[in-house]
Amino acid sequence: MLIRKAVITAAHPDQRTIPLQSLVDRDGTRKSALQIIIEEITQAGIEEICLVICPGDATAYAEAAGPHAPRLHFIEQRETRGYGHAVHCARDFTGGEPFLLLVNDHLYVSTQGKNCAEQLIEAASTMRCAVSAVQATHESKLPNYGAVGGHLVQGQQRVYLIESVIEKPTPTEAEQRLIVPGLRAGHYLCFFGMHVLPPRIMEILGTHIAEAPAGCRVQLSPALEELALKEQYCALEVQGRRYDLDEKYGVFTTQLALALAGHEREEVLAQLVGLLAQQNFGA
C-alpha cells in the first residue's frame, strides 16, 4: 500500500487558529504547530498535503507552513457539517488513493526511532488495509475521543483487528462494547488523531452525507464502524504520545513534551529544577 497523500482537517470554527501557534520544536527551532505536523508526515514519505479549511484561511495557513507552503493544496469546507463531512471535502484530492488523515490540533512525540506517522504507514503497508493509530487511554478521557474495540492480531505486536467504533462513548458503552483483552482495567483504545484510510471511506461518507437530514453534522466514527463491517480494518497502538493543543494547558504540555524529547533536554531540565527550587523557596 503506497501512501503519497495526506489530508489535514482544519475547518472547525473553534480550532482554526490552533495550528498557527508558535512552539519550539525538538531541534530547538521556533516553528508553527502546522509546520511541525507537516514535517512529521513528510518525513514519513508523504508527497502531497491537502488542508481542509474555513473559507478565507488559506493565506494564514500558507504563511504558517513556511518553506512547505508550495506542497499544500487548500479546500474550503463551506458548510459546518462535521468531521466526516470535512474529510469528504478532500475526495477529489485523494483521487481514489489511500491517504493519511490527521487532525489539526494534535502534535506527536515518538518514543522510538521512527516517528508516529512512519509507524502508522508501515503498519498499513504490512497489513494491507486501513489502520488507525490508537493510544491506551483512561476512561476519564472517553468524552474527548473516539474509541475502538477488537482483539490483537495473531503474530503482530500492538496491532488489533477492529470490531467496533464509538465516538466519545460513555463508560457504560465502553465497558459493553470496547473491552480489549490485555489492556489495563479502566483503559480503552482511543484514537490518536491519525489514520491511514482507503478510498472506500469516501464512498461511505458520501452515502452518509446524502442520507443525513439537511444541516445535520456527519461524523467520521460511524463511517469507520461501517468500514470495519465491509473490510479488514486495524488499529496500531503507536509507540509515542499524542498531545492535544486544544486541551486546558495543552500548548504548555505539548511544548514541555517537545522540549524534553529534544536536543536541549538537559538545559530544559535544569530550568525546570531552578523554577521548582524558586517556588519552594518562596513558599
Q: Are 98 and 202 in contact (CB under 8 A)?
A: no
The string of pLDDT tens digits covering residues 63-118 is 999 999 999 999 999 998 999 999 999 999 999 999 999 999 999 999 999 999 99
Query: Which amino acid is located at 193 in the chain?
Result: G
Q: For the chain, which residues make up each domain, given as ranges? A: 5-282
Please, what sign has the CA dihedral across residues 143, 144, 148, 154? Answer: negative
- Rounded Cα gap, residues 42 and 121, in angstroms: 12
Provide the grid cell at 53: 479549511
Give residue 7's Cα distance to chain centre.
11
Percent of the chain topping pLDDT 90: 88
The string of pLDDT tens digits covering residues 191-237 is 999 999 999 999 999 999 999 998 899 999 999 999 999 999 999 99
* 5-282 CATH pick, 3.30.540.10, 2.60.40.10, 3.90.550.10, 1.10.3720.10: 3.90.550.10
pLDDT at 116: 97
